[in-house]
Structure 1
Amino acid sequence: MNYPTPADVTRTAKALATRHPDRCRLTTIGHSRRGTPLRMLSVGRGPRHALVVAGAHPNEYVGGGTLLALAHRALASEHPGTVWHLVLCLDPDGARLNEGGHHAATLLDQYRHFFRPAPDEQPEWAPALPRPRYLPESRALLDVIRRIRPYVQITLHSTDIGGTFAQLTRDVPGLDRTLTTSAERLSIPVENAPLDALHWPATAPGVFVLPPPGAPERPTAFPENAHHSTWLAPHAYGGVTAVIEVPVWAAPRFADLTPDPAPEQRLRHWAERLRAHTHTTRTHYERARPHLPPPGPDPAFSIRRAIAETLRVCGALADSWDPAHPTYTPLPDLTRARTASIEGFARRTPLRAAAMLLRLLDEHAPTPATAPQRTELEALITRWCAAYSASFTATWVPVDHQIEHQVNVTTAAVEAAEGHLAPS
């Protein structure tokens, strides 16, 4: 089974709305920066509203399949009185730049089609930057939240190698039971120390709650502040947001809560490795610069911006991990799970930049002048992907298992939030 593409999801949503006009409504909630309609399928009727968002990060493919499964569940009337509002793809422009990755069978295949925009082009995060940016996609989502006042928003995400976890903007008691039992049944490790939730208190294995405003919450290298993201918008109506992560390849080390026997040595090692890989990628970037698309409206320039921003983050991340660096911030709970997450970022982040650079050269400068560098980058990415996968002994999580797990946790989050937060 492959991931359904955004076009597949839209076709199925249209068919459901045609087949069940009394219970399904497909609406356009706005348009992307490039004029693509942003679609939302609403299923059911009642006084309570649950919002589910797919495709906020275009390199994370599972959400569309999860939405379709949720739509069929809602049609089976598992939650009478709740309307499920399903945003089919929040960043269709970015998704178009990831076409091909939906059918990737290996980590290398996935990175050959890779694109992840800079933070100021990510609809959920752009409003959360020091200089906030409200993209048309961000505004469309915020307008929906103001209109339907959801008691719960679920945003669907995935990671390449790791485990499953949930980030909550306020506590939702009971969610951990479903996350743990579903993960165990589907052989997915529960990730216990994700860097994305570095300073978020854990209320249970794999469940993290946003700390109060002003408290540290993300690595200092990341400019975003979750308190200003679209995740917090439901709070104005007494609601909550749950971010549900599922891995494409599972790695048990991300679940290991035993103390790392040599944490400082491990931190220094991965800081140095990240700097070295960043230097290699930046050297390639500078060498390729004369052949790259110039600033302008071409989507290829978004890829170029994403490379530059990824390289910037790499350096800041390495410094924040290095105990010898002035900007080092002591990390909580230096377990094997924590150092696994750090290793994952150290391997993944420069790999992303290198993969996007190869794409640009292949697609926009496939000339004899760039042929030697394209060959070098292909070999580099192949080597880095193989080392990344081998280091974690990563195993593929079948797409239907990824979808089933995300559906299970999403349904549990909606039910738990309904019991604690929803209007009667």
Structure 2
Amino acid sequence: MFERILRLVDEVPEIDRFLGVDDLLSGINAVAERHSDCASVRRIGTSRLGEPLWSLTVEGGRKQAVVFAAVHPNEPVGGQTSLHLARTLAADPALRAELGHTWHIIPCIDPDGTRLNEGWFEPPLTMRRYGRNFYRPAGREQVEWSFPLAYKGVFFDAVIPETVALMRLFDELKPDFMCSLHNAEYGGVYYYADSTTPELSRALAAIPAHLGLPLQTGENEEPYMRELAPGIYLGLSARQNIDYLESIGVDHTDYEAGDSSMSYVERYGTRYLVSEVPYWTSEDSCDTTPLDVSYAAVLRERAKELMEADLVLSGLLASVQNDLTARSPYRRALNAFLPGLAKQSRIASAAADTPGADRAAVVSERFHSAEVLQSVRMRLGGMLLSTLDGELAVGNGTPAIRAAHAELTGVFDRWADLAEAEVPATAIPIRKLVATQFGAILASVATPR
């Protein structure tokens, strides 16, 4: 079966851009119309702004599989992957029969947020264009992190409509398999799973290798991640995050989001895969060569730079706070994320003081620290500019708003220059990212666990 999966991976066509919401929905409707004998589209919910949420069902067996994309709306690779998966399954009855699942494919679970990112979906993909057109919701408004939570004094039940739609689907289907499609910015390919086997681990490593992409073997996305195999980690939960913060003495009571889809489906014994593929890659991201600087020093430098970014961005937002009038999602995101900069700085400082941090850092750890900083600057700087753009667009050009916009434009341009100079990276062809996620889904379903 795995050789067949690799052949299917090789058949993924070239892709020149990311698809927006309308194109994704047109795509699944076309699949349903062309393959009406096995495929149909149904509405599963409504977005916060009133847009219908659609799922394509492809009949294929007794077991149920749910695949969904745009759980974070700045991560559009999964939309393309879900559409390619739908087309492939609908056109290949032998493959559906061999996999033995009926598929429920949601190409865009957050259309409201995805539309705010469409400004960077056309090539060329650069960090400057990405940041200037970037939107990511506040944690409590993210589909992936707004499932119910009650743990160690943290309570969350402000479940957003998009997450309610997924919960209803999970409760109805009690799926045998779930896949949440994600993207990272830099580095290599990695996965979260409920479990793995030697056969599945080999397959998940072999697919990106077949496409010339590295596995992520540098510093982890989160310090509390538990490795199951190289590039494969146990699925994340809010509980893990809270436990980690408690263990390093950082207050967790201000945790303002919910739990993950991975945690939610545990009640049904669902096998799951979360695939993370990067937009850009760099040899430094996987380089374990020791440096002549300690890991503690790298962490302290990260802490210092994050605090400096916080002072700039928080100061500019404070200078216009009384003049802002629009009920902007950018503004809500900034109010949620900006306090996190100081917290990230404290976490990095605390980690620098832990036993063993005085060892030599490796190249990938320095690269990770640099890309975290550049990503924060581009993301939050871009969203603050979009907040100010919106005020100017409705005629609210107060002296404070105009001054902040002018200052931040200069700051953002300098940060973009630094991002492109200090974190040299190459944009990965979209086809390879889609092919990696597509192959990983097939391998996860086809391999017994």
**TM superposition score normalised by structure 2:** 0.84
- Residue 171 of structure 1: CA displacement? 3.3
5+ residue gaps, structure 2, are 1-15
2:87 is aligned to 72
1:90 aligns with 2:109: yes
Q: For 2:422 and 2:227, how far apart are their aligned partners in 1? A: 26
- Residue 113 of structure 1: CA displacement? 1.1
What does 1:168-179 align with in structure 2 at a 5 Å threshold?
A: 168-171=193-196, 173-179=198-204
1:42 match: secondary structure: strand
What does 1:19-418 align with in structure 2 at a 5 Å threshold?
A: 19-75=34-90, 76-77=92-93, 78-80=95-97, 81-105=100-124, 106-127=126-147, 130-132=154-156, 133-171=158-196, 173-193=198-218, 195-210=220-235, 220=245, 228-259=259-290, 261=292, 262-293=294-325, 298=327, 300=328, 302-323=329-350, 335-366=362-393, 367=397, 369=399, 370-416=401-447
- Residue 304 of structure 1: CA displacement? 0.5
Q: For 2:358 and 2:148, how far apart are their aligned partners in 1? A: 24
- Residue 212 of structure 1: CA displacement? 9.4
Q: Which amino acid aligns with 1:138?
A: T
Q: Which amino acid aligns with 1:131?
A: F
Q: Which amino acid aligns with 2:285?
A: F
- Residue 331 of structure 1: CA displacement? 7.1
Q: Is the 8 A contact 2:72 2:110 kept in 1?
A: yes
Q: For 2:357 and 2:386, how far apart are their aligned partners in 1? A: 35
Q: For 1:90 and 1:66, how far apart are their aligned partners in 2? A: 14
Q: For 2:186 and 2:228, how far apart are their aligned partners in 1? A: 23
- Residue 74 of structure 1: CA displacement? 1.0
2:147 match: secondary structure: helix
Residues 67-91 of structure 1 deviation map (CA, whole Å, 9 limit, x = unaligned) = 1111122122323121121112111
Q: For 1:415 and 1:134, how far apart are their aligned partners in 2? A: 33
Q: Is the 8 A contact 2:120 2:129 kept in 1?
A: yes
- Residue 174 of structure 1: CA displacement? 3.1
Larger mean Cα displacement after TM superposition, 41-50 or 361-370: 361-370
Q: For 2:358 and 2:198, how far apart are their aligned partners in 1? A: 24
Q: Which amino acid aligns with 2:305?
A: R
User: Structure 2 vs 1, CA of residues 17 and 335 (structure 1 numbering), >3 Å: closer, same or farther?
Assistant: same
Q: For 1:210 and 1:330, how far apart are their aligned partners in 2? A: 26
2:405 match: secondary structure: helix
Q: Is the 8 A contact 1:163 1:191 kept in 2?
A: yes
2:18 match: secondary structure: coil
Q: Is the 8 A contact 1:260 1:335 kept in 2?
A: yes
User: Structure 2 vs 1, CA of residues 150 and 358 (structure 1 numbering), >3 Å: closer, same or farther?
Assistant: same
Q: Which amino acid aligns with 1:398?
A: P
Q: Is the 8 A contact 1:264 1:323 kept in 2?
A: no
Residues 181-230 of structure 1 deviation map (CA, whole Å, 9 limit, x = unaligned) = 23233332321245434222212221111489965688637876999422
Larger mean Cα displacement after TM superposition, 342-351 or 267-276: 342-351
Q: For 1:172 and 1:31, how far apart are their aligned partners in 2? A: 38
- Residue 329 of structure 1: CA displacement? 9.3
Q: Which amino acid aligns with 2:370?
A: E
Q: For 1:26 and 1:217, how far apart are their aligned partners in 2? A: 39
Q: Is the 8 A contact 1:197 1:217 kept in 2?
A: no
Q: For 1:291 and 1:178, how far apart are their aligned partners in 2? A: 55
1:171 match: secondary structure: coil
5+ residue gaps, structure 1, are none
Count of matched residue positions in the alignment of Structure 1 and Structure 2: 412
User: Structure 2 vs 1, CA of residues 248 and 17 (structure 1 numbering), >3 Å: closer, same or farther?
Assistant: same
User: Structure 2 vs 1, CA of residues 332 and 412 (structure 1 numbering), >3 Å: closer, same or farther?
Assistant: farther
2:8 is aligned to none
Q: Is the 8 A contact 1:17 1:26 kept in 2?
A: yes
- Residue 256 of structure 1: CA displacement? 2.5
User: Structure 2 vs 1, CA of residues 275 and 104 (structure 1 numbering), >3 Å: closer, same or farther?
Assistant: farther
